[in-house]
Amino acid sequence: MTWTWRQDDSRYTWPQIQSEENMYNNLVSSYETIAAELGLRVIPTGIAIETARHTQPNPYIPFNPADYTYPALPDVSNSFNNAVWWNEDHTAIVGDPAHLNPRGDFLQACVWFGFLTGHPVVDITYQPEGVSSEDTAFLKTTAQAVLDTYKQPAK
């Protein structure tokens, strides 16, 4: 299962998307519908990302690009999506609000590890570079909680 974009992604204004909550609900519904129809299981990565966003101790605060002038950049370290940077002529902040950053990658890897092996996520000893031990523990705990509580779609 994929995940929603970073909370400040401008594409949430698109009529077919409308909001992060709408995108999340549609993703979950779509994956569960198809999985039930085909008799498949779902790896609940998108649910883990959304759960972590709403339960992390230091939540990500969306930014207004108009509040920044070159070279200052907003802090996106508490996000689960990629970084931001200035465009070539330094007139706009751009970035990748869709793909996962190292925190999101690690959370996703934890979900996949637990799902595919059946081993407890706490067995993972790897700590990603730039991710604190406290954050690593939070991400592992979140992944395990989602794996423990997610009800697979029934055929």
Q: Locate the domains of the chain by residue range.
A: 10-149
Structure tokens at 151: 């009800």
Residue 14 backbone phi and psi in degrees, to 5: -65, 135
Judged against a pLDDT cut of 90, whether residue 10 lies above it is answered with no
Q: Which regions of the chain does DSSP assign to beta strands (E)?
A: 84-86, 93-95
The phi and psi torsions of 85 (rounded to 5 degrees) equal -155, 170
Tokens linked to 23: 């995108």
85: which strand partners?
A: 94
- The tens digit of pLDDT for each residue in 61-112 reads 999 999 999 999 999 999 999 989 999 999 999 999 999 999 999 999 999 9
pLDDT band at 150 (very low <50, low <70, confident <90, very high): very high
What is the pTM for the complete model shown?
Answer: 0.93
Q: What's the whole-number average pLDDT of the chain?
A: 95
Class of domain 10-149: alpha beta
Q: State mean pLDDT over 45-69.
A: 95
pLDDT of residue 85: 96
Q: How far does Cα 45 stand from its chain's mean position?
A: 8
What span, in angstroms and rounded, lies between the C-alpha atoms of 82 and 79? Answer: 8
Residue 81, classed as helix, strand or coil, is strand
Chain centre distance of CA 77? 13
The two three-digit tokens of residue 107, written as one number:
């959370």
